[in-house]
Amino acid sequence: MSQVSFRKIERSDIELVRQWRNSTRVNSQMINQQYISKDAQNDWFNRVKQSNDQKHFICLLDGRAIGVLNFSGITKLECEWGCYLGEERVLPGIGLVIESAALIYSFNYLSVNRLNANVLTSNKNPQSMHRFYGYNQLENKIVTNASGMQLEMACFYYQKEQWELNFKAVYDKLPKPILKVIENTEFIVD
């Protein structure tokens, strides 16, 4: 059985994360689609290390870094999450595992009452996963990125009490091998 774990991003990860983030496959699904230089990546990492309202994790599959999971806008009430896979050859269904990890971490570790998820409307897979998990969908919104390009976002949210009522039914729909991976997923925090 595969093991999925999450650990905080370290300085030694930032070049790999930058390469993933600059890849066309990942970059095209982001609000900020500008090329990220080494200096800009270093500046970002330094800001993140000092921030109290963001958390960024490397997703590991059997010890191999495969992507990023992040939480931003963290308050006592809510936060937003996002992720991307940097590697293409990964466990089928890994998105379902990451989705579950985001819900568990936000409600059990961050203790927020609401988890938000916004995704470009062109990025269909995350929207399907959010619906599968039972997120509430809001009206789409238009955002303008740093390049002045307008992008349409699909907006979702989950309330903690709603997740507590729904998680068993959601897990019952998951393929058993994916559920086993979810049950053994861990966050390595300091």
What is the DSSP secondary-structure string of 112-163? -SEEEEEEETT-HHHHHHHHHHT-EE---EEEE-TTS-EEEEEEEEEEHHHH
Which pLDDT score, from 0 to 100, does residue 189 have? 77
Tell which CATH architecture fits domain 4-185: 3-Layer(aba) Sandwich (3.40)
Asked if the model's pLDDT at residue 190 lies above 70, the reply is no
Which pLDDT score, from 0 to 100, does residue 1 have? 82
Segment 167-172 shows an average pLDDT of 97
Q: What is the pLDDT of residues 58-84, one digit of tens each?
A: 999 999 999 999 999 999 999 999 999
Q: What is the pLDDT of residues 11-62, one digit of tens each?
A: 999 999 999 999 999 988 998 889 999 999 999 999 999 999 999 999 999 9
Cα 112 from Cα 50, distance rounded (Å): 21
pTM of the model: 0.95
Whether the CB-CB separation of 65 and 51 falls below 8 Å is answered with: no
> At residue 65, what is the residue type?
A
- Where exactly are the structural domains of the chain? 4-185
Q: What is the pLDDT of residues 115-167, one digit of tens each?
A: 999 999 999 999 999 999 999 999 999 999 988 999 999 999 999 999 999 99
